[in-house]
Amino acid sequence: MDPTTTPIADRDISAVVEPDIEPGNDSMQAIVQDAYGSSDVLRLAEIDRPEIAPNEVLVEVVAAGMDRGTWHSMAGKPYLMRIMGFGFRRPKNRVPGLDVAGRVVAVGSEVTRFELGDEVFGMSRGSFAEFAAVLEDKLAHKPVGLTFEEAAVVPISGGTALQGLIDSGKVETGQTVLIIGASGGVGTYAVQLAKAMGAEVTGVCSTTKVDLVRSIGADHVIDYTREDYLDGSRRYDLILDIGGNNSLSRLRRALNPTGTLVIVGGEDGGNLTGGFGRQLRALALSPLVGQRLTMLASKERHTDLEALSPYLENGQVVPFIDKVYSLAEVPAAMAHLEAGQARGKIVITI
């Protein structure tokens, strides 16, 4: 399967850069945000390059991936995350963007796995920039054969899908797996990984994305706008719940008596907690019923990137890129994601 890309011509972005500092050798262009809000809080600016700690690597960014988590950090929602340390009134981290792919240009004194010039991908603190600092243990060598753009859209979403299926879901060959949110960032990896692991996969998405989910290998595709996929007429060994915020009782109805439910996320849970109560109720109920009801709080770690690499290198998992934007176009890219229009992943080229 070839990823469909819609390249956007390079533009002269220098005209719109707001200098926060005088441009110099240690400066860089980056997207910055000084308040929470919608995509108009994001602006292109000239700022200092990040300094690296002894256990960090400085990466010259070639491409950065966009994901829902970055949207949450921009919006400051659910509010629970502000209390959890993201910054109460404004984001502590001024440069958004987590997923990164690029070349190593400096290494901290304690770093052992990377050298100058290495081509890498991972989870950074601030990838919508020309340079990003990345902890060594959140970085891996770029899979052979992948472009920087493809590698940049893997870390958060691919890692979440892997952890949801293996760590939390404990998926086994031959199991029936329902993936709710199969057309999104996490879901497109989950469908392909579950297939590669020998599961029979049913993907749930909206009408215009049915073809996408079928093209990435789902055995069955259900359009949630037309069918109630949780009416209990079909039951699954494992449900990966990535979208839609269905109630626990509805999800359990479509689960085999000893099946596993993994709640990964969903966007309709309200501003306060983002619907986190559903996850807590699942954990509380699980010991009392035959089904295993659990949730995922994904971890950012290089071991997942290394575990994903063979799937990416042998073509069993192909990053599905929807659109390519330039650094100056990050606000537009974010608005595209927010509108729910993205098919798979959005990538930013630096």
Ligand X SMILES: NC(=O)c1ccc[n+]([C@@H]2O[C@H](COP(=O)([O-])OP(=O)(O)OC[C@H]3O[C@@H](n4cnc5c(N)ncnc54)[C@H](OP(=O)(O)O)[C@@H]3O)[C@@H](O)[C@H]2O)c1
Residues 6+ apart with CB under 8 A from 279: 263, 295
For the bound state, the minimum distance from the C-beta of residue 116 to ligand X, rounded and expressed in Å, comes to 32
Q: Which residues bind ligand X (CB under 6 A)?
A: 67-69, 157, 160, 180-187, 204-206, 209, 224, 242-244, 264-267, 296-298, 340, 342
Contact 148, 171 (CB under 8 A): no
Query: Can you tell me the distance from the alpha carbon of 292 to that of 42, in angstroms, rounded to the nearest whole number?
Result: 41
For the bound state, the minimum distance from the C-beta of residue 68 to ligand X, rounded and expressed in Å, comes to 4
Which residue, 50 or 97, is less far from ligand X as judged by CB? Answer: 97
Which residue, 68 or 142, is less far from ligand X as judged by CB? Answer: 68
Which residue, 38 or 258, is less far from ligand X as judged by CB? Answer: 38
Buried b (16+ CB within 10 A) or exposed e, 285-320: ebeeeebbbbbbebebbbebbebbbebbeeeebbbb
Kindly report each contact of residues 7-16 with a partner whose C-beta sits within 8 Å and lies 24 or more positions away, as own/partner.
7/324, 8/323, 8/324, 8/325, 8/326, 8/329, 10/326, 11/326, 11/328, 13/44, 13/326, 13/327, 13/328, 16/44, 16/328
**Alpha helix (H) ranges present in 12-118?**
68-75, 80-81
Which residue, 62 or 264, is less far from ligand X as judged by CB? Answer: 264
For the bound state, the minimum distance from the C-beta of residue 72 to ligand X, rounded and expressed in Å, comes to 6
Tell me which residue of 317, 38, 303 sits closest to 201, measured CA to CA: 317
Give residue 308's identity as a one-letter amino acid code.
L
For the bound state, the minimum distance from the C-beta of residue 103 to ligand X, rounded and expressed in Å, comes to 26
Which residue, 188 or 349, is less far from ligand X as judged by CB? Answer: 188
Sheet holding 18-19, edge to edge: 18-19, 42-48, 27-33
CB atoms within 10 A of CB 227: 12
For the bound state, the minimum distance from the C-beta of residue 224 to ligand X, rounded and expressed in Å, comes to 4
For the bound state, the minimum distance from the C-beta of residue 170 to ligand X, rounded and expressed in Å, comes to 16
For the bound state, the minimum distance from the C-beta of residue 344 to ligand X, rounded and expressed in Å, comes to 8
Kindly report the length of the chain: 350
Which residue, 186 or 239, is less far from ligand X as judged by CB? Answer: 186
Which residue, 11 or 299, is less far from ligand X as judged by CB? Answer: 299
